[in-house]
């Protein structure tokens, strides 16, 4: 009997019930290549809107990992990953719960993985109102998004974590995301660590998913907000915590760029109006 190769799909969610359900619906309604199967690990990071109960009712096969509301994206993904790793699947698929997968998304990723063994496979997303506007995906050395239609640029230096397929052999070398980061930066850090370890990240052709950006200005950078509110958001996991940014920059760019970023972040929160004029 030939066993299916297993893909552990990893998500972390917080109080976006309908968004989460729509994401899971797109996942389960899509096709899975012959010889593969999916199992879903979802971190419920203290949802209070009934997300976990709704997922259990509509998608009873989803394995729910309990969080307490303090994990945010990066550490929530780690919790799901650690649970999934216990069953030693062949692949781990990162999936943001605000991302809609297209019907052949998994097939696209797997075909790319089979042509590029040992590589991380990155899926690109476009905006819901414009299929030509790239919102998330692979990024070049200048952190610019790469067009998946550019046949000359099939590799990327790092990536957004919306749709990312990580082979087990990469996990065994790099481990999970770094828990020093609470919400953001963990995906960029993982891609950069892979590149620095000689592991290639390859962009799958086309657009496996749809995900809109969040265009509103961050509260910590909004000059209309009072300073105490800006500061609170600045230091929060979803802000631009200077200590996390310092560690990220020092690790991948060196001490001097890290110090410059550390200082500029404080200038940004102290004088957001002046910053925007520059």
- Over residues 62-94, the pLDDT tens digits come to 999 999 999 999 999 999 999 999 999 999 999
How many whole angstroms separate alpha carbon 80 and alpha carbon 63? 9
**Is 60 exceeded by the pLDDT of residue 1?**
no
**Is 70 exceeded by the pLDDT of residue 275?**
no
Q: How many helices (H) and strands (E) does the chain have?
A: 10, 14
User: Distance of CA 6 to CAs 84, 92, 93, 230, 272, Å?
Assistant: 11, 9, 10, 44, 48
Specify the residue for token string 């020093």.
Answer: 180
- Give yes or no for a contact between 128 and 241, defined as CB atoms under 8 angstroms apart: no
- Over residues 49-65, the pLDDT tens digits come to 999 999 999 999 999 99
Mean per-residue pLDDT over the chain, rounded: 93
* CATH 3.90.550.60 intervals, the chain: 5-210
- Over residues 187-245, the pLDDT tens digits come to 999 999 999 999 999 999 999 999 999 766 778 888 888 888 888 888 888 888 889 99
Domain 5-210 has what CATH class?
alpha beta
Strand partners, 41: 10, 63
How many whole angstroms separate alpha carbon 179 and alpha carbon 138? 22
Largest distance between two CA atoms of the chain: 67
Which comes out higher in pLDDT, residue 64 or 266?
Answer: 64
Which comes out higher in pLDDT, residue 264 or 208?
Answer: 208
Strand partners, 30: none
**Is 90 exceeded by the pLDDT of residue 266?**
no
How many whole angstroms separate alpha carbon 207 and alpha carbon 204? 8
Give the pairing type, strands 163-167 and 91-95: antiparallel
CB neighbours of residue 213 within 10 Å: 11
Which comes out higher in pLDDT, residue 215 or 3?
Answer: 3
How many whole angstroms separate alpha carbon 277 and alpha carbon 119? 42
Residue 220: the pLDDT is: 80
Both tokens of 180, joined, read 């020093």
Please tell me the pTM assigned to this model.
Answer: 0.93
Strands (E), 205-276: 209-210
**Is 90 exceeded by the pLDDT of residue 95?**
yes
CB neighbours of residue 87 within 10 Å: 11
Query: Computed over its alpha carbons, how large is the radius of gyration of the chain?
Result: 19
- Over residues 97-149, the pLDDT tens digits come to 999 999 999 999 999 999 999 999 999 999 999 999 999 999 999 999 999 98
Residue 274: the pLDDT is: 66
Strand partners, 101: 209
């Amino acid at each position: 009997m030939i066993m299916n190769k297993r893909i552990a799909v990893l998500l972390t969610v917080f109080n976006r019930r309908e968004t989460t359900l729509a994401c899971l619906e797109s996942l389960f309604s899509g096709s899975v290549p012959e010889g593969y199967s999916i199992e879903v690990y979802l971190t419920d990071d203290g949802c209070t809107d009934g997300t976990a109960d709704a997922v259990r009712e509509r998608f009873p096969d989803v394995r729910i990992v309990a969080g307490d509301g303090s994990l945010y994206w990066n550490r929530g993904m780690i919790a799901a990953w650690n649970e999934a790793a216990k069953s030693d699947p062949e692949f781990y698929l990162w999936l943001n719960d605000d991302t809609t997968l297209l019907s052949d998304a998994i097939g696209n990723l797997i075909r790319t993985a089979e042509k590029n063994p040992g590589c991380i496979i990155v899926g690109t997303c476009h905006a819901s109102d414009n299929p030509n506007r790239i919102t998330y995906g692979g990024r070049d050395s200048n952190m610019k998004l790469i067009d998946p239609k550019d046949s000359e640029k099939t590799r990327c230096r790092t990536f957004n974590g919306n749709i990312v397929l990580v082979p087990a052999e990469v996990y065994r070398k790099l481990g999970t995301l770094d828990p020093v980061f609470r919400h953001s930066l963990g995906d960029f850090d993982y891609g950069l660590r892979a590149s620095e370890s000689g592991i290639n990240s390859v962009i799958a052709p086309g657009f496996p998913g749809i995900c809109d950006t969040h265009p509103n200005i961050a509260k910590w950078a909004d000059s209309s907000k009072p300073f105490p509110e800006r500061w609170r958001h600045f230091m929060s996991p979803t802000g631009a915590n200077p200590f996390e940014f310092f560690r990220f920059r020092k690790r991948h760019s060196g001490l001097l760029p890290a110090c410059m970023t550390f200082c500029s972040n404080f200038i940004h929160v102290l004088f957001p109006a002046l910053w925007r004029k520059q």
